[in-house]
């Protein structure tokens, strides 16, 4: 279908559209929260305090639930997220339910996470406002086992080999449920010392379930200097295997940890030398995928205005309709509404990652989000500046 939309009409500075979903009270509340998050010392103190408070059984759950949890999470259960799903849907923004419980290692907990992910798939099938499901491989596999498997499944012996078979069964249970429901599922990326195993897991599931549609999506982190080539190799594997490649493209989330581990253990860092190199490869990956859109369906997970604008422009150049389901944009709940809402208003496919889970269990996720906002250059200032602009506009 020829795209008649003029993408340069999108303005990520349009705060009227960006904050259309927020009341005056909501806007003021977000302003106060980002002011707090903008103070690194306060974020670090808050992280320490919540650990102590939970250990001492202090009544902090209510405070957390009314503040940072409210900003970045949908609720404690799938049902709790219903209002958020419906609210986002009213602005043509989809929801990706992300069960954000981390750090579990027992078979019972890993099976429970698998079952929860399948529940999100079932919920998605029944609700057009939920276009994707998602899970972290460390949610269904012990980290020590995943790290061993990273060196090659042939290296696994004895109980490790048996445990790996259980993991692959969990993986297949999720992917089979997604295939039967017709609900695409993202396999999230993780640390590089897990990622080779995860890539093989994703490749196996795509070869099995992506023959007719992109159901399984692997996640590619472009802050790694080898990922552009990996994308091209993955594409060739999909052509040879007769399946569609599903990709969630992101810049990446573990840069500092990756560099520290590489330095400590004396191996070359897998991370790009500069942010500019990451941006260059990210944009090159987008161009490559659009040029091969018949075989690669993708979701651009980015909070970067330039990348989002560039993708919209390229879709126009390639005559790809904004509503073409082969291309999605995604951002995290509570962040970059100026990108999400303006793109959705212009007719593009947009979804928000909506984390959920018991307050205590999702605290590691929440503290990462808070620290991410303080460490990413200009993130808090950008959010605050847009909120202030909208507050001024509403006073006129």
Q: How far apart are CA 377 and CA 138, in angstroms?
A: 29
Q: Give tens-digit pLDDT for 212-264.
A: 999 999 999 999 999 999 999 999 999 999 999 999 999 987 778 889 999 99
* pLDDT at residue 363 in the model: 77
Q: Where are the domains of the chain?
A: 76-361
Q: Give tens-digit pLDDT for 24-55.
A: 988 988 888 777 766 654 445 445 445 544 55
Reduced to 3 states (helix: H, G, I; strand: E, B; else coil), residue 332 is: strand
pLDDT band with cut points at 50, 70 and 90 for residue 377:
very low
Beta pairing class for 350-356 and 327-332: parallel
Query: What CATH number should be reported for the domain whose range is 76-361?
Result: 3.20.20.220
Q: Report H helices in the chain.
A: 15-18, 24-37, 40-55, 61-66, 68-72, 82-89, 107-125, 143-150, 158-181, 192-209, 227-241, 255-265, 275-291, 305-317, 337-345, 359-375, 379-395
* pLDDT at residue 101 in the model: 83
Mean of pLDDT values over 133-157: 95
Q: Give tens-digit pLDDT for 279-290.
A: 999 999 999 999
Q: What percentage of the chain exceeds 90 in pLDDT?
A: 72
* pLDDT at residue 43 in the model: 46
Q: Which of 9-23, 54-68, 195-209, 316-330 has the lowest mean pLDDT?
A: 54-68
pLDDT band with cut points at 50, 70 and 90 for residue 5:
very low
Q: Give tens-digit pLDDT for 83-134.
A: 999 999 999 999 999 998 877 889 999 999 999 999 999 999 999 999 999 9
Q: Give tens-digit pLDDT for 161-205.
A: 999 999 999 999 999 999 999 999 999 999 999 999 999 999 999
């Amino acid at each position: 279908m020829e795209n008649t939309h003029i993408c340069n009409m999108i303005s990520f500075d349009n705060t009227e559209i960006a904050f259309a979903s927020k009341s005056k009270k909501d806007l003021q509340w977000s302003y106060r929260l980002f002011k707090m998050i903008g103070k690194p010392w306060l974020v670090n103190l808050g992280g320490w305090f919540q650990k102590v408070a939970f250990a001492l059984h202090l009544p902090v759950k209510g405070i957390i639930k009314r503040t940072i949890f409210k900003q970045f999470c949908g609720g404690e259960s799938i049902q709790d997220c219903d209002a958020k799903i419906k609210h986002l849907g009213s602005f043509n923004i989809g929801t990706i339910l992300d069960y954000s419980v981390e750090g579990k290692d027992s078979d019972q907990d890993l099976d429970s996470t698998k079952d929860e992910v399948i529940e999100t798939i079932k919920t998605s099938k029944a609700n057009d406002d939920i276009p994707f499901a998602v899970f972290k491989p460390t949610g269904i596999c012990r980290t020590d086992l995943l790290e061993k498997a990273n060196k090659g499944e042939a290296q696994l012996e004895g109980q490790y080999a048996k445990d790996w078979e259980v993991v692959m069964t969990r993986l297949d249970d999720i992917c089979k449920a997604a295939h039967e429901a017709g609900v695409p599922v993202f396999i999230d990326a993780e640390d590089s010392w897990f990622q080779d195993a995860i890539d093989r897991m994703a490749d196996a599931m795509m070869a099995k379930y992506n023959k007719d549609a992109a159901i399984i999506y692997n996640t590619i982190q472009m802050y790694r200097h080898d990922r552009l080539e990996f994308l091209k190799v993955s594409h060739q594997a999909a052509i040879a295997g007769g399946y569609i490649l599903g990709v969630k493209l992101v810049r990446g989330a573990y840069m500092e940890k990756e560099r520290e581990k590489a330095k400590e253990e004396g191996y070359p860092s897998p991370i790009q030398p500069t942010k500019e190199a990451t941006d260059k490869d990210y944009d090159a990956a987008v161009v490559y995928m659009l040029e091969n859109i018949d075989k690669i369906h993708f979701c651009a997970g980015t909070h970067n205005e330039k990348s989002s604008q560039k993708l919209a422009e390229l879709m126009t150049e390639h005559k790809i309709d904004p509503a073409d389901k082969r291309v999605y944009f995604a951002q995290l709940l509570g962040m970059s509404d100026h990108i999400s809402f303006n793109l959705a208003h212009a007719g593009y496919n947009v979804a928000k990652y909506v984390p959920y889970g018991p307050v205590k269990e999702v605290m590691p996720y929440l503290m990462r989000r808070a620290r991410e906002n303080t460490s990413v250059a200009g993130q808090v200032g950008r959010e605050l500046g847009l909120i202030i602009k909208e507050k001024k506009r509403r006073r006129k």
